[in-house]
């Protein structure tokens, strides 16, 4: 959620003329994130977030905003996109597609306790269950083909040992058939900074722009690799157990999912490592941005490779 496209107060007022959201009271750029332009938007009727889509294909945008509207009306706390006066969910600002959505209260918990991890697991499961009834569909743009092609693209920037690690891991992932696992709508970016806590019991999910159709267990692995890590790039078994226990309240894992757990943890670490390498070596110009630590994700992947048997036991 960086600022790539500046928006002036006058431009925000012109946009608000197409909504019944009152008059502009404040506009503030948001630095966190790396994909879209985001502003806090305050009006006489409430607090909102204005998002300008910088790189997402226009044909994919109805999936994302429709998903948020679906989840917000199916007991999942997340931003609710606002309809324009003509009924549309999407607008245009400075030549970019844009949406205005409600602003959630609260802040991320960057040092979650086991109890907080359990609640985060419960919230992710609620999202997966509610997503079953969503009639939109979108393939994962960062699936196997992307992992393999992007590894080749970034390879010239890396030491030989890291290139070998990527190649070996992509080959390893290609050995496994995940079509036997439950599939549905995944968040795809369920990190600590994408869940805001109004209080210790009530969290809300933001930033749905990596959402897609994929293996549900993969989404759990992406989350655990962030919520349950230690500073030395390993997993805290207590927090992992708490997260999984919370998740299984609404959606118990199947036997095949348990078998594939170490594979998915490795896949999730690889995907995050590749993505953060991209932000480092192929940066996009932004007025405000906060970089991500790609080396941490590499070390987490190496940990998962070295401790596969122990990882399987974390679900017991």
What does the pLDDT read at residue 288? Answer: 41
80-122 pLDDT, tens digit each: 999 999 999 999 999 999 999 999 999 999 999 999 999 999 9
Residue 57 near residue 43, CB atoms below 8 Å: no
Whether residue 216 is found in the same domain as residue 262: yes
107: in domain: no
Domain enclosing residue 297, as ranges: 114-313
Residue 49 near residue 38, CB atoms below 8 Å: yes
Whether residue 121 is found in the same domain as residue 94: no
The answer on pLDDT for 219 being more than 50 is yes
What does the pLDDT read at residue 287? Answer: 43
Query: How far, in Å, CA of 123 to CA of 250, rounded?
Result: 9
Q: Find all residues with CB under 8 Å of 101, minimum gap 6, and list them.
A: 48, 49, 51, 65, 68, 79, 80, 81, 82
158: in domain: yes
What average pLDDT score do residues 302-316 get? 85
Phi/psi at 245 (5° precision):
-60, -45
What does the pLDDT read at residue 308? Answer: 79
Whether residue 206 is found in the same domain as residue 133: yes
Number of domains in the chain: 2
- Domain boundary at 80, 102, 124, which? 102
What does the pLDDT read at residue 315? Answer: 79
The Cα-based distances of 89 to 62, 65, 69, 97 in angstroms read: 8, 7, 10, 10
> Which CATH number goes with the domain that contains 76?
3.30.200.20
pTM above 0.85, yes or no: yes
Whether residue 40 is found in the same domain as residue 152: no
Among 36-40, 198-202, 254-258, 285-289, which stretch is predicted with the lowest mean pLDDT?
Answer: 285-289
The Cα-based distances of 180 to 148, 194, 275 in angstroms read: 22, 29, 26
What does the pLDDT read at residue 313? Answer: 77
Specify the 3-state DSSP secondary structure of 251: coil
Whether residue 69 is found in the same domain as residue 201: no
> Which CATH number goes with the domain that contains 132?
3.90.1200.10
298: in domain: yes
292 or 130, which is more confident: 130
Whether residue 82 is found in the same domain as residue 200: no
Mean pLDDT score across all residues of the chain: 94
What does the pLDDT read at residue 33? Answer: 53
- Domain boundary at 102, 135, 156, which? 102
End-to-end CA distance of the chain: 37
Residue 268 near residue 235, CB atoms below 8 Å: no
Whether residue 191 is found in the same domain as residue 87: no
Whether residue 126 is found in the same domain as residue 191: yes
Provide, rounded to the nearest whole percent, the portion of the chain with pLDDT above 70. 95
Q: Which three-class secondary structure string do you get for 9-20?
A: HHHHHHHHCCCC
Whether residue 211 is found in the same domain as residue 286: yes
1: in domain: no
Confidence band for 141, pLDDT divided at 50, 70 and 90: very high
Whether residue 155 is found in the same domain as residue 287: yes
What does the pLDDT read at residue 289? Answer: 47
What average pLDDT score do residues 137-158 get? 96
The Cα-based distances of 62 to 47, 167, 212, 226, 228 in angstroms read: 23, 35, 12, 28, 32
């Amino acid at each position: 959620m960086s600022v790539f496209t500046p928006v002036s107060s006058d431009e925000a007022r012109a946009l608000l003329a197409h909504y019944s959201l009152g008059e502009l009271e404040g506009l503030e750029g948001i630095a966190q994130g790396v994909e879209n332009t985001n502003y806090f938007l305050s009006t006489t009727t409430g607090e909102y977030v204005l998002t300008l889509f910088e790189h997402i294909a226009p044909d994919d945008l109805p999936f994302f905003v429709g998903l948020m509207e679906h989840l917000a009306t199916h007991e999942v706390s997340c931003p609710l996109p606002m309809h324009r006066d003509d009924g549309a969910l999407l607008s245009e600002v400075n030549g970019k597609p844009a949406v205005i959505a409600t602003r959630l209260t609260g802040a991320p918990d960057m040092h979650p306790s086991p109890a907080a991890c359990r609640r985060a697991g419960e919230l992710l499961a609620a999202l997966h269950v509610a997503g079953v009834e969503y009639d939109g569909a979108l393939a994962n743009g960062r699936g196997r083909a992307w992992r393999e092609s992007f590894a080749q693209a970034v390879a010239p920037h890396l030491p030989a040992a890291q290139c070998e690690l990527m190649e070996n891991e992509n080959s390893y992932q290609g050995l496994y058939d995940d079509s036997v696992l439950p599939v549905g709508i995944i968040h795809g970016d369920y990190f600590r900074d994408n869940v805001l806590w109004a209080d210790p019991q009530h969290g809300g999910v933001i930033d749905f722009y990596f959402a897609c159709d994929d293996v549900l267990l993969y989404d759990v692995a992406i989350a655990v690799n962030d919520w349950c890590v230690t500073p030395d790039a390993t997993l805290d078994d207590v927090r992992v157990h708490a997260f999984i226990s919370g998740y299984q309240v609404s959606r118990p894992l199947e036997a095949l999912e348990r078998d594939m757990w170490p594979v998915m943890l490795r896949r999730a670490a690889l995907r995050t490592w590749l993505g953060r390498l991209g932000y480092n070596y192929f940066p996009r110009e932004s007025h405000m941005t906060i970089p991500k630590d790609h080396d941490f994700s590499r070390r987490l992947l190496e940990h998962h490779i070295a401790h596969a048997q122990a990882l399987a036991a974390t679900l017991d």
